């Protein structure tokens, strides 16, 4: 619309900016502010965008801490950095959660080093653990741009500095930097001697690690074949503390995959996780299966739990939720047949290593399931609770309560 009728587009944008203070829910309000800022950025109104981002950061102080606030904060800082890295640095002190403020500050430092690897030379006085973390984040960013074809291959000297910086770092940090260095080398040279030398060095290092591990474990077993160490592409790994990345990957899968219906099978799903419904289109029905154990302070069968879920949604959004049916199961002693965590839709599904509420707080993974596995999981685990719930479990009556959000 901006190209075809700039005046009308500007009028609509001004009206949206004028009306946003009337939005009662603070999370929804900052979300609208961010949308307006993104639109202004496309129109080239960078000064107005900076003012809106400043207002958004100030408004975020009144929002309860949670995954949504973390994600919006991250989006604000990223947009500010795309406009002006120095401006982004002025926003991080406005974050009143010290952990989030530190994470965002380190993220900005990582972007600066990723953009100019030479900047690592000026970090000699920095805490070594913090510096190694920043280098690993820079490596992840550079690796992503190299894989997507949007990045620039770095000089081998730059990669050597990064590798020296993490020589005594924890394994996950070394892995990220080494992976980036390998990809950078592969894209930067076609000489067989260089690639063969790098491959041999990696394999020798792996053999050494496996040999040391075998000795430390007191095992004389034959070293496992290295070919079996590669993770399949269907597995996504997230390190402890990377909750925002883990949750965003989960949300992205839901946004792009949910078709005809969405079924969440999670024994620890509770009202605090209800904001996941904001990722689901209104026309897609949602079925949630959880346990009474996850509903803290509610005894099995207590219908007051319904209002807790509805109140949680009202605090999350002032929009109508998608059609949602919630099923809670469990015995008085706290047992239930639910164990694993699945999110499934038509012919697609994922398995989560931990429940949605704690996803990414510790090492976590998403496993993308094949269509035949999804069908079997639906038939054997999910559908029985939606059609004909269990009556007895471990010699106890199973208390089942079904309600609409």
pLDDT in tens, 72-87: 777 887 788 778 877 8
Q: For the segment 157-191, what is each residue's pLDDT rounded down to a tens digit?
A: 888 888 888 888 888 888 888 888 888 888 877 67
**What pLDDT, on a 0 to 100 scale, did the predictor assign at position 72?**
78
| Identity of the highest mean pLDDT range in 123-132, 234-243, 267-276 | 267-276
Least confident of 273-277, 308-312, 358-362: 358-362
The lowest-confidence range among 96-110, 195-209, 292-306 is 96-110
Name beta bridge partners: 330.
399
- Specify the residue for token string 């000064």: 47
Residue 206 — pLDDT band, cuts 50, 70, 90? confident
Query: Would you say 258 and 283 are in contact if contact means Cβ atoms under 8 Å apart?
Result: no
97 pLDDT band (50/70/90 cuts)?
low
How crowded is residue 294: how many other Cβ atoms within 10 Å of its Cβ? Answer: 21
Rounded Cα–Cα distance for residues 321 and 280 (Å): 9
Q: Which of 102-106, 199-203, 314-318 has the lowest mean pLDDT?
A: 102-106
At residue 16, does pLDDT exceed 80? no
What pLDDT sits at residue 325? Answer: 95
Distance CA 109, CA 355 (A): 32
Taking only Cα atoms into account, the Rg of the chain, rounded to an integer number of angstroms, comes to 25
From the centroid of its chain, how far is CA 100? Answer: 15
DSSP H or E run through 364: strand 364-368
Partnered with residue 351 across adjacent β-strands are 342, 367
- How would CATH label the architecture of 236-404? 2-Layer Sandwich (3.30)
pLDDT of residue 395: 81
> Which parts of 265-369 fold into alpha helices (H)?
305-316
∠280-285-286 over CA atoms, to 5°? 70
pLDDT score at 227: 46
**pLDDT value for 103:** 67
pLDDT at residue number 127: 75
Residue 329: pLDDT over 70: yes
Half-sphere exposure at residue 91, Cβ-oriented, CA atoms within 13 angstroms: 32
Query: Average pLDDT, stretch 52-80?
Result: 76
Q: Which of these ranges, 139-148, 229-238, 353-362, 366-375, has the smallest mean pLDDT?
A: 229-238
At CA 230, angle to CA 224 and CA 234, rounded to 5? 140
Q: Which of 326, 323, 319, 343 is nearest to 283 (CA)?
A: 323
Q: Among 342-346, 356-360, 390-394, which stretch is predicted with the lowest mean pLDDT?
A: 390-394
Pairing of strands 392-393, 396-397: antiparallel
In this predicted structure, the answer to whether residue 96 has a pLDDT above a threshold of 70 is no
- Once rounded to an integer, what is the mean pLDDT over residues 355-371? 88
pLDDT in tens, 99-154: 565 666 777 777 777 777 777 776 666 778 778 888 888 888 888 888 887 778 88
Judge whether residue 340 has pLDDT over 80: yes
Instruction: State both tokens at 361.
Output: 């707080």
Judged against a pLDDT cut of 90, whether residue 277 lies above it is answered with yes
Percent of the chain with pLDDT strictly greater than 70: 87
Paired tokens of 112: 């600066």
End-to-end CA distance of the chain: 37
Measure the CA–CA gap between 402 and 153, rounded to whole angstroms.
Answer: 56
pLDDT at 99: 54
Total Cβ atoms within 10 A of residue 157: 9
Rounded percentage of the chain residues whose pLDDT exceeds 90:
23
Q: For the chain, give the mean pLDDT.
A: 82
The highest-confidence range among 124-138, 196-210, 227-241, 361-375, by mean pLDDT, is 361-375
Indicate the domain borders of the chain: 6-95, 100-188, 236-404
Q: Residue 56 and residue 34: Cα distance in Å, rounded?
A: 7
Distance separating alpha carbons of residues 98 and 367, to the nearest angstrom: 32
Q: Would you give the DSSP letter of residue 242?
A: -
pTM (global) more than 0.75: no
């Amino acid at each position: 619309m901006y190209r075809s009728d700039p005046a009308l587009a500007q009028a609509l944008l001004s009206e949206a900016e004028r009306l946003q203070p009337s939005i009662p829910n603070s999370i929804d309000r900052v979300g609208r502010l961010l949308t307006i800022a993104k639109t202004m950025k496309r129109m080239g109104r960078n000064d107005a965008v900076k003012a809106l981002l400043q207002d958004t950061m100030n408004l975020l102080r009144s929002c309860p801490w949670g995954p949504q606030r973390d994600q919006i904060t991250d989006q604000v800082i990223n947009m500010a950095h795309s406009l002006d890295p120095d401006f982004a640095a002025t926003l991080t002190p406005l974050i009143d959660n010290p952990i989030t403020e530190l994470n965002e500050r380190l993220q900005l430092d990582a972007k600066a080093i990723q953009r100019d690897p030479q900047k690592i030379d000026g970090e000699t006085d920095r805490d070594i653990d913090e510096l190694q973390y920043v280098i690993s984040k820079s490596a992840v960013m550079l690796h992503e741009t190299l894989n997507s074809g949007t990045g620039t291959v770095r000089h081998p000297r730059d990669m050597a500095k990064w590798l020296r910086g993490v020589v005594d770092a924890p394994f996950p940090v070394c892995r990220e930097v080494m992976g980036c260095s390998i990809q950078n080398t592969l894209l930067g040279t076609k000489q067989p001697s260089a690639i063969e030398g790098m491959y041999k060095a990696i394999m020798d290092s792996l053999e050494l690690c496996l040999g040391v591990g075998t000795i430390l474990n007191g095992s004389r077993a034959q070293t496992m074949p290295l070919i079996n160490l590669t993770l399949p592409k269907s597995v996504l790994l997230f390190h402890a503390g990377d909750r925002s990345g883990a949750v965003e990957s989960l949300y992205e899968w839901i946004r792009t995959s949910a078709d005809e219906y969405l079924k969440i099978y999670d024994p620890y799903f509770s009202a605090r996780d209800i904001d996941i419904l904001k990722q689901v289109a209104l026309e897609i029905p949602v079925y949630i299966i959880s346990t009474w154990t996850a509903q803290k302070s509610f005894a099995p069968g207590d219908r007051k739990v319904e209002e807790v879920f509805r109140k949680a949604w009202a605090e999350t959004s002032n929009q109508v939720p998608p059609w949602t049916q919630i099923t809670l199961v469990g015995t008085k002693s706290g047992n239930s047949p639910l164990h694993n965590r699945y999110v499934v839709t038509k012919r697609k599904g994922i398995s989560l290593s931990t429940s949605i509420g704690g996803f990414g707080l510790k090492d976590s993974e998403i496993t993308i399931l094949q269509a035949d596995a999804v069908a079997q999981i639906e038939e054997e685990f999910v559908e029985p609770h939606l059609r004909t719930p269990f009556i007895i479990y471990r010699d106890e009556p199973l208390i089942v309560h079904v309600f609409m959000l």
